[in-house]
Amino acid sequence: MALHFAKRITEYKLAKELFTRGKDIILSPEAQVMKTFIQHGETTVFEHCVSVAKFSLLIACFLEKTLKIEFDKDSLVRGALLHDYFLYDWHIKDSSRRFHGFTHPGVARANAERDFCLNDIEKDIIAKHMFPLTPFLPMHRESYIVSIADKWCALAEIFKIDVSSYLIYRINFRIALINGDYSIDYGETSVEV
């Protein structure tokens, strides 16, 4: 019980940090489109990207504490949130997407550059996240972290291991709050939160 409570608090704090660092992307209508596509199992592309951002942040915090390696955490989160911004259903058979595994990082980067203002680290994270499947070496340490977090999240989603549902709930709750889609019903009066 105590462990469960501690885990919830950690997830709550992580959701808060992730939301603060990636707010402009998370709240954009463009990124919300990722909710309409499935990535693995029953996980949407948006949920997958949020989960990858969470584990990227966790790994970076761990390495900062233990090895004193510094990371650009804003770019880390923003790049992770957009790393699969390819905006199509890769499960639908289409000859132009036959090599989705190899080509989608390039598509995601082009889409992300079109819709958002990105720095070099964020572009590198998106373009190289499938390394070593794609042969180009990541140029920034943040890209390696997202690539590792991506593989872990993909495995968890394929094998239906719940690793991020509470954090994803917290992110969606914050989106709803800001968009005014959440209200508490006190009976006769409804108070907007």
Interacting residues with Fe ion (CB under 5 A) = 84, 150
Residue 149 CB, nearest distance to Fe ion (Å)? 9
Our CB check for Fe ion shows the closer of 122 and 150 to be 150
Residue 153 CB, nearest distance to Fe ion (Å)? 7
Phi then psi dihedrals of residue 118, to 5 deg? -115, 150
Our CB check for Fe ion shows the closer of 109 and 170 to be 109
Residue 123 CB, nearest distance to Fe ion (Å)? 15
Residue 96 CB, nearest distance to Fe ion (Å)? 17
User: How far, in Å, are 31, 35, 99, 157, 170 from residue 77 at the CA level?
Assistant: 14, 18, 27, 20, 16
Residue whose token pair is 């690539």: 147
Our CB check for Fe ion shows the closer of 47 and 84 to be 84
Our CB check for Fe ion shows the closer of 69 and 155 to be 155
Exposed, middle or buried: residue 86 (CB in 10 Å: 0-12, 13-18, 19+)? buried
